[in-house]
Amino acid sequence: MLVDSHCHLDRLDLAHHDGSLDAALAAARSRGVGHFLCIGVSADNAAAVRDLANRYDDVDCSVGIHPLDVSPGPLPALDWLLGELDHPKVVAIGETGLDYHYEPETAELQRASFELHLQAAAVTGKPVIVHTRAARRDTLDLLRAAQLPQGGVLHCFTEDWDMARAALDLGFYISLSGIVTFRNAEALRDVARQVPADRLLVETDSPYLAPIPHRGKPNLPEYVRDVAEYLAMLRGQPYEAFAEQTTANFRRLFPLAGVRQA
């Protein structure tokens, strides 16, 4: 069994499945995907991801504010975030983090938001899903300062081995998406070969970043199988062993998720 550890089910382009999320999830299940983590990105979609998680036994969700969704003005209160997290199907915090590539001008607001999420993680013990781009030093500094015993994951990882190693040293996991299949991603493939087997996750980040051979199309959860097969080949592992290992890793990082036994 395989887990799509990061997907945006409320944002999928469902044209390939006649507009049906049920059909899209069924297609993924037919390819061996047994669980889905639907990711929150804003205050506005917190209810939507919870509703989706409530609809399906094999879907859990996270709640948080993406760094590119941070708005000028007062941040949401910690009490608001803790209230949103107090739900049995909300198994993680985020995605949160820093993105200075697209919006460097909001760096201060992004850092404040990230710190708020890390405070919530310290209170709840739930793992943090981290988005980071062009913000290596600040991301690592804030994670070091937080000292979260439960850690979390750097999702859709696109940085180099030095950053991966620093995150691993802090107890975090590394999650790889379809980007690892792209022609110009050799540095990321180097990371993929080196991440310890017990600290690696696999994801689609759908509807974004479809892997080869689907690049250029809307991404779907079923394509996590393509990412996993590619990574297994890259690491010299049988696919079934890779799927079993990454699913075990997901269970360990997200112990509240309702992942069935294979």
What percentage of the chain reaches a pLDDT higher than 90? 97
**Amino acid type, 230:** Y
**Average pLDDT over the chain, rounded to an integer:** 97
Residue 186 lies in a domain: yes
Domain count, the chain: 1
Containing structural domain, residue 36: 2-253
State yes or no: pLDDT of 247 exceeds 90.
yes
Would you say residue 258 lies in a domain? no
**Is 261 a domain residue?**
no
- Can you name the residues that pair with 61 across neighbouring β-strands? 38, 90
Confidence class for position 76, pLDDT limits 50, 70, 90: confident
Report if residue 260 sits inside a domain: no
Can you tell me the mean pLDDT for 181-198? 97
Of the two residues 262 and 157, the one the predictor is more confident about is: 157
Spatial distance between the Cα atoms of 150 and 147, rounded to a whole number of angstroms: 9
Q: What is the pLDDT of residue 75?
A: 83
Sequential DSSP letters for 101-143: TT-GGGHHHHHHHHHHHHHHHHHH---EEEEEES-HHHHHHHH
In tens, the pLDDT along 218-246 reads 999 999 999 999 999 999 999 999 999 99
Q: Could you tell me the pLDDT band of residue 72, with boundaries at 50, 70 and 90? A: confident
Residue 251 clears pLDDT 90, i.e. is over it: yes
Q: Is residue 189 part of a domain?
A: yes
Look at residue 73 in the predicted model and tell me its pLDDT: 80
Write the CB contacts of 106 (distance below 8 Å, at least 6 apart in sequence).
67, 70, 72
Residue 110 has pLDDT above 80, yes or no: yes
pLDDT > 70: percent of the chain:
100
Residue of 124, 120, 125, 171 lying closest to 144 (CA atoms): 171
- Phi-psi region at 223: left, alpha or beta (left = phi > 0; alpha = psi -120 to 50): alpha
State the pLDDT at residue 56. 98
Collect all residues with Cβ–Cβ distance below 8 Å to 133 and sequence separation of at least 6: 98, 99, 100, 101, 102, 158
Residue 112 lies in a domain: yes
- Looking at the domain assignment, is residue 224 inside a domain? yes
Q: For residue 34, which of 10, 5, 55, 62 has the smallest C-alpha distance? A: 5
Q: Is residue 41 part of a domain?
A: yes
Mean pLDDT of 142-147: 98
Give the C-alpha distances (Å, rounded to integers) separating 132 from 24, 114, 236.
Answer: 28, 11, 28
Amino acid at 1: M
pLDDT at 261 over 80: no
67's tokens: 């760094």
Determine how many CB atoms are found less than 10 A away from the CB of residue 93.
Answer: 30
* CATH number of the domain residue 212 falls in: 3.20.20.140
